[in-house]
């Protein structure tokens, strides 16, 4: 008598009394098939642009479609669909492909569901079509705020394709492509359109031996001013000396009278400066010579003066340590 097989897991259904000496082996094979359908893992390269159909077989633990977790890898060059058996079942799908193309999971002859690149998703086949096994929530179950009957599921697209982000790592994460057009640059925050510019690299602008030098502009120098007034004391006066000769030629008055009359003109009653006068001697011509000395104690001042200087410049040069600390990031775009 021939065995039959279940529709979903393809387990061997042995007829009563059949497989007399192989029943134990067949039973173990069924258990291994159940084990694969419950927790089996398959990694399959689906790179390219052609659709892929997973293999299936009766009572087979090694058939591709007998695994619970399916990881698809490879570089896509076109949009593809991966086909699973058209029977009731569920799978955990990991789309680990690269390339800007889509990957759908469908049952042969039915509609399918798109699995976002770099994402995990539970899918369920109802025997005809494959749907995302979404975890739903209704706005009425939210304690605060509002939600338009949206559903939360494991295939939610968090970042749109083409989104640029910073990552502190050398390679882009799965589902992202490292951008190489910007290297050794600083970041600038703007409120308008984004752009790039500048001519100095980051490490050239911030290094430990940055020298700044130049020359100041030239200018003339003029200094003007006036000295203060000063009254000289008698001790500070210069000594002025001289003599005067008086000749008495028989006129009125004696020599003594003439002398007294002359010296009286040098006296201000004791209020002014003192003068030294005296007879020098008698000349052979019946003359008398008067010796005198005096000085001035009046105040005097000095006029303005100008000091002019020629134009000159100053040169300067110094070295600065601008070796600022930094952390490297890469820019990656969402596939």
Where are the domains positioned within the chain?
39-135
For residues 157 and 117, give the distance between their C-alpha atoms in angstroms, rounded to a whole number: 9
**Fold (CATH) for 39-135:** Jelly Rolls (2.60.120)
| Interval 8-53: pLDDT, tens | 777 767 777 777 677 777 777 767 777 777 778 999 999 999 999 9
Q: Which two tokens stand for residue 50?
A: 């052609």
pLDDT 10s digits, 54-67: 998 887 778 898 89
Q: At 78, phi and psi to the nearest 5?
A: -170, 170
Distance CA 216, CA 194 (A): 39
Cα 309 from Cα 300, distance rounded (Å): 29
pLDDT above 80: residue 308: no
**Is the Cβ–Cβ distance between 44 and 97 less than 8 Å?**
no
Mean pLDDT, rounded, for 102-121: 92
Better-scored residue on pLDDT, 274 or 311? 311
Torsional class of 198: left (φ above 0), alpha (ψ -120 to 50), beta (otherwise): left
The pLDDT tens digits for 247-285 are 544 444 555 555 555 555 444 444 444 444 444 444 444
Segment 151-163, tens digit of pLDDT: 445 455 578 888 9
pLDDT at 101: 94
| Biggest CA-to-CA distance, the chain | 195
CB-side exposure of 73: number of CA atoms within 13 Å?
6
Mean pLDDT of 202-230: 72
């Amino acid at each position: 008598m021939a065995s039959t097989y279940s529709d979903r897991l393809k387990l061997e259904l042995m007829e009563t009394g059949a497989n007399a000496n192989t029943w134990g082996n067949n039973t173990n094979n069924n258990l291994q098939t159940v084990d694969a359908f419950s927790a089996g893992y398959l990694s399959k390269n689906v790179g390219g642009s052609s659709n892929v159909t997973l293999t299936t077989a009766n009572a087979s633990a090694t058939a591709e479609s007998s695994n619970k977790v399916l990881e698809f890898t490879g570089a896509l060059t076109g949009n593809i669909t991966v086909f699973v058996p058209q029977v009731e079942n569920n799978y955990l799908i990991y789309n680990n492909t690269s390339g800007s193309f889509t990957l759908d999971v469908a049952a042969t002859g039915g509609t399918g569901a798109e699995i976002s690149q770099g994402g995990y998703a539970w899918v369920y086949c109802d025997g005809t079509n494959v749907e995302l096994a979404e975890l739903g929530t209704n706005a009425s179950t939210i304690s605060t705020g509002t939600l338009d009957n949206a559903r939360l599921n494991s295939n939610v697209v968090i970042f749109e394709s083409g989104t640029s982000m910073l990552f502190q790592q050398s390679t882009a994460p799965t589902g992202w492509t490292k951008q190489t057009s910007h290297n050794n640059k600083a970041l600038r925050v703007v409120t308008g359109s984004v752009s790039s510019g500048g001519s100095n690299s980051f490490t050239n602008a911030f290094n430990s031996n940055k020298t700044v030098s130049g020359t100041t502009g030239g200018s003339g120098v003029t200094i003007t001013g006036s000295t203060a007034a000063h009254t000289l004391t008698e001790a500070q006066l210069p000594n002025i000396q001289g003599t005067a000769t008086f000749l008495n030629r028989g006129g009125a008055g004696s020599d003594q009278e003439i002398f007294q009359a002359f010296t009286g003109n040098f006296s201000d009653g004791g209020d002014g400066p003192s003068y030294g006068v005296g007879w020098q001697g008698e000349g052979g011509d019946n003359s008398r010579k008067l010796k005198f000395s005096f000085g001035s104690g009046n105040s005097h001042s000095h006029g303005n003066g100008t000091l002019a200087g020629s134009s000159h410049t100053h040169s300067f040069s110094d070295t600065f340590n601008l070796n600022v600390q930094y952390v490297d990031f890469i820019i990656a775009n969402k596939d």
